[in-house]
Structure 1
Amino acid sequence: MLYLVHMVVNIPASVPAEEAARIKAAEKAYSQQLQESGQWPHLWRVVGEYANYSVFDVASNDELHNTLSQLPLFPYMQITVTPLAKHPSSIR
């Protein structure tokens, strides 16, 4: 199943810089692992924001929830999920 996921990150200023850097490094490693596995085939940055739009390809709602909740930045994210279906006019 495909999902369009919008993630907005807001790390509070109270998080020490070293901790924020550690979390961001862990996030990058985990997200690249998911991209390499094919579960996260598309990732786009939103210009001017600490946010992204992504497409996830996972088997179920539960798998997506589990995947997203394991993101190191998850506690600092506002996430919106839109399930996607093939459009009948699509040639792909």
Structure 2
Amino acid sequence: MLFLVRMEVDWPKDMDPEAGRALVEAERTYSQRLQRYGKWRHLWRIAGVFGNVSVFDVDSHDELHEILSNLPFFPYLNIEITPLARHPSRIDAPPAAPP
């Protein structure tokens, strides 16, 4: 199951700088592990925003929820999730059955 996930960080203005650096490193480590395992398929920064758009490839809604809720940034994230389906005009899509 593919999901487009938009995440924007609502960082506390009074966040301790050292705690912030530790969170950033933990987030990087966690997200890179998910990318290596193929769960976090795409990760794109949104220009001018402390956030990203990502594509996740998971087996269930529950797996996506678990992945997102375990993000170190999770308490500070505003998240929008859109389920994705293959488009029939993709060049790598199998031919559609005739109508």
Would the TM-score normalized by the shorter structure come out above 0.5? yes
Q: How many residues align?
A: 92
**Structure 1 stretches lacking a partner, 5+ long:** none
Q: Aligned equivalents of 1:21 and 1:10: distance in 2? A: 15
Q: What is the deviation of 1:61?
A: 0.5
Q: Which has the higher contact order (CA 8 A, sep 6+)?
A: 1
Q: Which has the larger radius of gyration?
A: 2
- Structure 1 residue 74: deviation in Å? 0.5
- Provide the TM-score with structure 2 as the length reference: 0.90
* Percentage of identical aligned residues: 53
Find the aligned partners of 1:51 and 1:21 in 2 and give their Cα distance. 16
Q: Where in structure 1 do 4 or more consecutive aligned residues deviate above 6 Å? A: none
| TM-score with structure 1 setting the length | 0.97
Provide the residue aligned with 1:59 in structure 2: 59
Q: Which runs of 5+ in 2 are unaligned?
A: 93-99
- Equivalence map 1:2-81=2 (5 Å): 2-81=2-81
